Structure 1
Amino acid sequence: MLKNIRSHESYLSFVIEQLDENYKDKTFLKTFYSEPIIWCSFIDLSDTAELLKHRYSSNPRGRKPRNPCDMLRSLMLMHYQHVTSVDQWVFILKTTPILAILSGFSPDHVPGVGTFYDFFNRLWLASTPHLSNRKQRKLKKPRKKGKKNQKQEPTNPRIVEKLVKRALKRKAIHYTPKAHDQLQILFQSLFVQKSAEAGLLGHTTSISILGDGSPVVTGGRAYGTFLCECRKQGNWKCQCNRQFSDSDADYGWDSAREKYYYGRSLFMVSASDSPYDLPIYPRLYRASKHDAVLFVSTFHELQHWYADWTFAEVILDSALDALPIYEMLEQYNISAIIDLNPRRSKHFQHKQMDISLKGVPVCPIGREMIHWGLNQKTYRRKWRCPAAVGKWTCPNPCSDSKYGRTFYTATKDNPRLFPRIKRNSKEWRKRYALRTGVERCIKRQKVDYRLENSRGRSSRHWNIRTYIIGMCQHADAWIKEAKKNNFSALNPIIQSFLSL
């Protein structure tokens, strides 16, 4: 049962008291540990206990549980220090008192490894660390390989269309609870909302988002462990069930490295107008799923979690260039900025008029027509004859009018060919250039915070690590904002201690 959870001010007072007691040389602290001290002072986790109280027993008897605020802060500090093992982190806490103090623990009373894993169970709503049965047949690695920087097509070519139809039927947002929901609640309440209030995500009344998938390699083996006695009988290629340490992982195609990997696919949603490329909703799926499939599912969940936000724009790469996705976004009154996939882009016609890959009508002599205005309410564009506008003689005129032939295109006719923002226009290039922000966000997860360096073997492990790193990304952004103002928002207790 959680009782007497201290405030953030009380935590900072505890830190200063413990540092004064355990470290007489303040120069040492200021030289080597001023950054983590300031970093922890900006992270107010006092609401964690309220958000997690239903995950603790209401029985007043028994051993008093650890403060969930301190446990969460310690996990964040663990990732901030680039430690990927809980066992190693517990050893560091016991041998480096300042890190235990910054976590909120007394140096003489550091939690053990089992306490951290017990806290993992409170963050994970599933009954087991895995989401599927651990005994199954060996997975076969697909033989068909893709090309460099080209993701493999989904095995069912119409799966995206089916998912979109299902999502639009449930436009009232029917959400099925997930095992990672508690992590998302903490992440959204303690970090995303605070960053949004600070203006670090753009305007939530008309927010623009980015989305992209990235491979995450697991520490489990794809070969599994034999449960049968077939090998003793000379049968080395049996199809009996095996035990897998990570039963939720499977094979996926890594287009950047041009090879198959065994693990998961991380689909990251971030804010395009964020100066720090901050994540909004990280989601882990099976590696075999295509990015277009992941986006439809993720977008449906995103609307549930951020129901009070208005999504105005979605920027995606060519892997998600599918007409059903455009139609889905149009149904939700969202502007789609998606690059055309060369493999799906062939010859187009609309109302017996050829259309170029730029979404521009082409006249019978092969010249692109001239854009001549846009209706902002209906996104209906007017196009004029290039000869009439340029005042030159057309060898094969298709209209007797001096004004020349006119042609109209509308987003509702084909949102893929005629998006709300004209393809290849200056505004289009400016907005699409923001797409690299989600790649930088994923790079922060996988490179800066070493997501894949851990040898985790369960969905619980990978989800907790992904969300904790996302929390650290927001905390890093708060520090950078504070530096711009010379730490004017730094707590007076820490400010007087460091003498800034």
Structure 2
Amino acid sequence: MLKKIRSHDDFLTFMSQKIDLYYPNKRILREHFTHLIIWVSIIDLTKTAHLLKHRYSSNPRGRKPRNPCDMLRSLLLMHKLQYTSVDKWVDALRTVPLYAILSGFHPDSTPGVGTFYDFFNRLWLAPSPHLMNKKKRKVKKPKAKGKKHQKMAPRNPGIVEKLVNRALKQQGNVHYAPKAHDGLQTLFKEMFVEPSANQGLLGDTKSLSITGDGTPVETGGRPYGKLLCNCRKQGNWKCDCLRKFSDPDADFGWDSSREKYYYGRNLFMISASESPYDLPIYPRLYRASKHDSVLWVSTFHELLHWYPNWKIGESILDSAFDAYPIYEMLERYDVSAIIDLNPRRSKQFTYNKMDINLDGVPVCPIGREMLDWGIDKKRYRRKWRCPAAVGGWQCPHPCSDSSYGRTFYTSTKNNPRLFPRVKRDSKEWRKRFALRTGVERCIKRQKVDYKLEGSNGRSSRHWNIRTYIIAMCQHVDAWVKETEKNQYKELHRKVKSILFI
């Protein structure tokens, strides 16, 4: 049973008192730890106890559990300081009093390794660290090799269309099955994403612009498992017997940037494209063999479930998502699609007996592009005029006897891939599509700055907790940067005065 949880102000008071007791000379703190102290002080984790209350026993007997606010704060601090091992972090808490104080613990009473793993079980809603109960299976080696700088195509070419059709049948009533990471997502949403949105760090949530992409995450498990047979002793080195895997949820995927196969997971990240700090909104881990276009369909609908009060106005994606069903799905949800064309699927099209080039521009019978003459934003219908009539030159084969020249209309509703709401290769298109790099910077923060793959984790629980904690740290980093601006300087001074620095 949880005991009375202290407020954030009480935590700041506790931290100030303990710093005075253990560090009477604050010169070292001012020189080396001022940023870290402010970083921890700005995080209000009081709601953690309420959100995780159902994960604790209601029996008043027995030993009282650790304050979940302090446990979560300690995990955030652990990843901020780039500790990849719980064992090493526990040693650091016991040897460096400041780390224990900033976590909210008394330096002479810090949690052990088992306490942290008990807290992991409360964050992870599945009964096992793995999602698959079957730990024994055959080795499935990849056969076809991926192409240079190109992601592997889906195994089932029609899977995206099937998933979209299934999802559109339930439009208006988004179906969501409970998942093991729901507790982590609830903490992330309530205490990090929504506060960032309230500060305007994600953009306009009434017409939010999002972008998404997948990235490989290698696991610490052995890709070929552990032998359970004696075939090699009998001279058979290529047996098909069952093997035991320490990470049964991982599988093989193609890393197009490194041009190699890897064993692990696919981290699909959705971030706010107009965020000045490239903040994540919904990180999601899948099997490595899943294609990004397949993951987008499910992740987008999960996003609608978690943020029902937000309105997604724009989706910016790369050419891996260039599939007509995705355009159709986004149009049904009234979302503007900014998706780059895949050169493997691109060719000149014909629409209403008029040739259309790859930029969605009608081409007249003499091979000249018609001129854009504005758009009806209510119906997303664009008007095109004859280049000869507009330019004032004589056409050798006129299409119309009118002095106004021939007109042609293209509608986003009829073909959202050919005629998106924002005209391809226009100045506005290039400006909007340039925001897609925000998700790459967000992923870079996870994998490079916070060393996501620096751990040898072998379970879905480990990788989900690690991914979400790092995403939380990304939001806190943005809050600290905001304190340096004029409107937050008072808060900056208040924290320093509380800590007597």
CA contact (8 A) 2:176 2:305 kept: yes
CA contact 1:134–1:244 (8 Å) conserved in 2 = no
Cα deviation code 1:404-440 (max 9, x no counterpart): 1111100011000000111111111111110000000
Are the equivalent residues in 2 in contact too, given 1:38–1:494 (CA < 8 A)?
yes
In structure 1, what is the equivalent of residue 249 of structure 2? Answer: 248
Aligned to 1:229: 230
8 Å contact from structure 2 (residues 13, 498) kept in 1: no
- In structure 2, the partner of 1:239 is 240
How far apart in 1 are the matches of 2:491 and 2:429? 38
The answer (yes or no) to whether the contact 1:12–1:494 under 8 Å persists in 2 is no
Shift of 1:134: 4.3
1:488 aligns with 2:490: yes
Task: Supply the distance in 2 between the matched residues of 1:190 and 1:8 (Cα, whole angstroms).
Answer: 13
Q: Secondary structure at the match of 2:490?
A: coil
Q: Secondary structure of the equivalent of 1:205? A: coil
Q: Distance in 1 between matches of 2:347 and 2:391?
A: 29
Matches within 5 A, 1:325-364: 325-364=326-365
Percent same amino acid at aligned positions?
70
Query: 2:122 corresponds to which residue?
Result: 122
1:212 equivalent in structure 2: 213
SS in 2 for 1:473: helix
Q: Which amino acid aligns with 2:284?
A: R
Q: Which moved more, 1:127-136 or 1:431-440?
A: 127-136
What is the TM-score normalised by the length of structure 1? 0.98
Matched residue SS, 2:298: helix
What letter corresponds to residue 174 of structure 2 in structure 1? I
SS class of match (1:329): helix
**Cα pair 2:216 2:264 within 8 Å, conserved:** yes
1:317 matched residue in structure 2: 318
Residues in 1 aligned to 2:97 and 2:395: alpha-carbon distance in whole angstroms: 83
Structure 1 distance, partners of 2:234, 2:447, is 44
Give the C-alpha shift of residue 496 in structure 1.
4.3
Moved more, 344-353 or 139-148: 139-148
Tell me the CA shift for residue 239 of structure 1: 1.4
Helix, strand or coil for the counterpart of 1:228? coil
The one-letter amino acid of 1:291's match is D
Unpaired runs of at least 5, structure 2? none
The CA RMSD measured in Å over matched residues stands at 1.1
SS at match of 1:382: strand
Query: Cα distance, 1:493 vs. partner?
Result: 5.5
Give the unaligned 5+ runs of structure 1: none
Residue in structure 1 matched with residue 465 of structure 2 by the alignment: 464
Determine the structure 1 residue equivalent to 2:42: 42
Query: 1: CA distance between counterparts of 2:148 and 2:444?
Result: 19
Structural mapping, 1:141-290, within 5 Å = 141-171=141-171, 172-290=173-291
SS of 1:284's equivalent?
strand
Quote how far apart the aligned CAs of 1:366 are: 0.8
Aligned to 1:29: 29
Give distance in 1, aligned partners of 2:234 and 2:254.
35
State how far apart, in whole Å, the 1-side matches of 2:387 and 2:207 are: 37
For 2:474 and 2:169, the matched residues in 1 are separated by 36
Question: Residue type matched to 1:346 in 2?
Answer: K
Alignment of 1:79-158 (within 5 A): 79-158=79-158
Q: How many angstroms apart in 1 are the aligned matches of 2:346 and 2:226? A: 45
Name the structure 2 match of 1:425. Answer: 426
SS of aligned partner of 2:262: strand
Counterpart CA distance in 2 for 1:313 and 1:347 is 26
Provide the rounded CA distance (Å) in 1 between the counterparts of 2:316 and 2:57: 44
Cα deviation for residue 234 of structure 1 reads 2.7
> Does the C-alpha gap of structure 1 residues 24 and 53 become closer, same or farther in structure 2, counting only changes over 3 Å?
same
Query: 2: CA distance between counterparts of 1:226 and 1:63?
Result: 42
Identify the residue that residue 73 of structure 1 maps to in structure 2.
73
Which amino acid letter does the alignment assign opposite residue 85 of structure 1?
S
Distance 1:105 1:425, change over 3 A: same
Deviations 1:157-176 (A, max 9, x none): 01000000011112110110
CA distance in 2, matches of 1:249, 1:292: 19
**Alignment-derived partner of residue 2 in structure 2:** 2
Q: Distance in 1 between matches of 2:495 and 2:136?
A: 56
Report SS of the residue matched to 1:465: helix
Helix, strand or coil for the counterpart of 1:487?
helix
Partner in structure 1 of residue 370 of structure 2: 369
Measure, in 1, the Cα distance between the counterparts of 2:449 and 2:494.
30
Instruction: Check whether the contact 2:15–2:499 (CA below 8 A) recurs between aligned residues.
Output: no
Query: How far 1:388 sits from its partner (Å)?
Result: 1.1
TM-superposed CA distance for 1:33, in Å, is 1.1
Q: Structure 1 residues 159, 493: closer, same or farther in 2, change over 3 A?
A: closer
User: TM-score, normalization: structure 2?
Assistant: 0.98
- The 1-side partners of 2:387 and 2:133 are apart by 64
